[in-house]
Amino acid sequence: MTKGPRRLLGAAGLLLALAAPALAASAAPRIEYQDFTLPNGLRVLISTDHAVPVAVVSLIFDAGGRNETPGHSGFAHLFEHLMFEGSQNVPRGGFDRMLESYGGENNASTHEDFALYYEEMPSNAVPVALWLDSDRVGALNVSKEAVKNQIEVVKEEKRLSVDNRPYGPMLGLDISSRSFSNWQNAHAVIGSAEDLDASSLEDVRDFFKAYYAPANAVLAVVGDVDPSEVKRWVTDLFGQLPKREKPAAPDTTEPEPGSGQRFELKDPQAKLPALALSWKGMPARGSADFNALVLLGRALFAGKSSRLYQELVKNSKVAVELDGGLGFPVCDASDYKSPALFGAFVIHKAEASPDKVKDLLAAQLARVAAEGLPEAELRRVKTKFRSDWILSQQTSLGRAEKLLMAALLDGDPEAANGLDRYMAVSPEDIRRVAGRYLKADLANVFVLSPGGAR
């Protein structure tokens, strides 16, 4: 089963959540950090917090699904597994055992635009975690046996999490593959069994050599640490890794969106029908329109007070569950570069026609495009967004992830302190982006019926 990031709230986070209304009026605390780069190209971020004697060591690689090539889908995700298969100095299973013997834990996740690894431990074990990471980056066991074992694990994961999960193929495969035109964006990160089975050992090793180079990664050490000690440890352990050129960025350009298409899907695992809409042509990460669409997604889909929950579940009573927003269903708005989709997904009652559900959804979007959001509604969305932002940086892991994604995806770790750009969004901004990007005739429409065969 693939490892995925875990969010640890803790006592401090719980108190903060209870105090969220009061905090909403205050500025988010800055994440202070030091930033340096080794001669081999590895960028390093250090952020200290001596409140508790714990720390996080985390690596992010510019090695997501979009970095793959046709015929080699799933390689990025495969390495999420192979990175725990042992190395020249650590046997299979030894990474977890050694870290756990110090009271630590670890995890990893693969995304469209990156792969993320972390270890969380008592701060006196930071040198151990750094050694473990430098060892597997420098001397990973990419053997025929290890690759074969993990390909079978990945195939089973795909069967469980996508193929045999209600609505899994629709959300995990169909929407992306039929919304995007460029293969780099259209294929699923989890990959295909056919590609994995057909891959050679040399193909797999070539991917690791290219994408797990120091210059293609950012390392963060966050928590109860001495920056001067960390710099010395990192320089000693990672500085010995050979310098390799950063691979060229993939071409992810998409044609301008045209009129949307309609797709009819079957799902033998689903119990109720579902409707999904997707829009292409979303703005670049960090732009004013991007920030406005993030908040619009929250206003439409986040929680029981959201517009679409109130309209589709409470008022018209046609839906039982919904989700969506910028990045959906491929990823979250916070963890992609571009391009992305803006998606909507509704599980609705059998007696409600998909066209009725679509019309109700489109009517809400048209209303926002005409009127924007009232100040009070936008203020409520911003308050919750600010609260979530502050909560996300209450742990060393949360701060490490923010810094790493800002450094890799925005090109500047300072973007981790960029809450103000969302707080500057106006009702007019919301109105503008709704009218520009979410026109009804540009939406791809996916109608899913329960039963039958795919």
Both 224 and 355 in a single domain?
no
Mean pLDDT, residues 269-297 taken together? 96
Q: Is the pLDDT of residue 149 over 80?
A: yes
Kindly state the tokens that stand for 419: 């809450």
Residue closest to 279 by CA, chosen among 223, 361, 352, 210: 361
Domain final residue, candidates 238, 273, 308: 238
Assess if residue 75 is contained within a domain.
Answer: yes
Assess if residue 410 is contained within a domain.
Answer: yes
Q: Please tell me whether residue 422 adopts helix, strand or coil conformation.
A: helix
Both 133 and 227 in a single domain?
yes
pLDDT band at 28 (very low <50, low <70, confident <90, very high): confident
Q: Is the pLDDT of residue 20 over 60?
A: no
Q: Is the pLDDT of residue 454 over 80?
A: no
Assess if residue 4 is contained within a domain.
Answer: no
Percent of the chain with pLDDT over 70: 94
Assess if residue 214 is contained within a domain.
Answer: yes
Lowest mean pLDDT among 20-24, 89-93, 187-191, 394-398: 20-24
Assess if residue 255 is contained within a domain.
Answer: no
Assess if residue 23 is contained within a domain.
Answer: no
Percent of the chain with pLDDT over 90: 89
pLDDT band at 15 (very low <50, low <70, confident <90, very high): very low
Distance CA 49, CA 31 (A): 10
Q: For 248-280, write each residue's pLDDT tens digit.
A: 999 999 999 989 999 999 999 999 999 999 999
Both 229 and 377 in a single domain?
no
Kindly state the tokens that stand for 292: 């406005």
Both 203 and 291 in a single domain?
no
Mean pLDDT, residues 189-206 taken together? 94
Both 206 and 274 in a single domain?
no
Assess if residue 16 is contained within a domain.
Answer: no
Mean pLDDT of the chain: 92
Number of Cβ within 10 Å of residue 7's Cβ equals 12
The CA-atom distances, in angstroms, between 329 and each of 18, 27, 47, 55, 271 are 30, 31, 32, 32, 20
Q: For 303-315, write each residue's pLDDT tens digit.
A: 999 999 999 999 9
Q: For 410-447, write each residue's pLDDT tens digit.
A: 999 999 999 999 999 999 999 999 999 999 999 999 99
pLDDT band at 23 (very low <50, low <70, confident <90, very high): very low
DSSP conformation class of 170: I
Assess if residue 332 is contained within a domain.
Answer: yes
pLDDT for 118 equals 98
Domain that holds residue 297: 262-450
Distance CA 38, CA 337 (A): 25
pLDDT for 332 equals 87
pLDDT for 5 equals 36
Both 331 and 295 in a single domain?
yes
Distance CA 158, CA 172 (A): 10
Both 288 and 219 in a single domain?
no
pLDDT for 9 equals 37
Q: What is the CA radius of gyration of the chain?
A: 22
Both 387 and 341 in a single domain?
yes
The number of distinct structural domains making up the chain is: 2
Both 268 and 219 in a single domain?
no
DSSP string, 349-394: -TTS-HHHHHHHHHHHHHHHHHH---HHHHHHHHHHHHHHHHHHTS
DSSP string, 225-243: --HHHHHHHHHHHHTTSPP
Distance CA 77, CA 225 (A): 31
Both 372 and 231 in a single domain?
no
Both 233 and 269 in a single domain?
no
Q: Is the pLDDT of residue 16 over 50?
A: no
Both 303 and 232 in a single domain?
no
Q: Is the pLDDT of residue 395 over 90?
A: yes
Q: For 41-63, write each residue's pLDDT tens digit.
A: 999 999 999 999 999 999 999 99
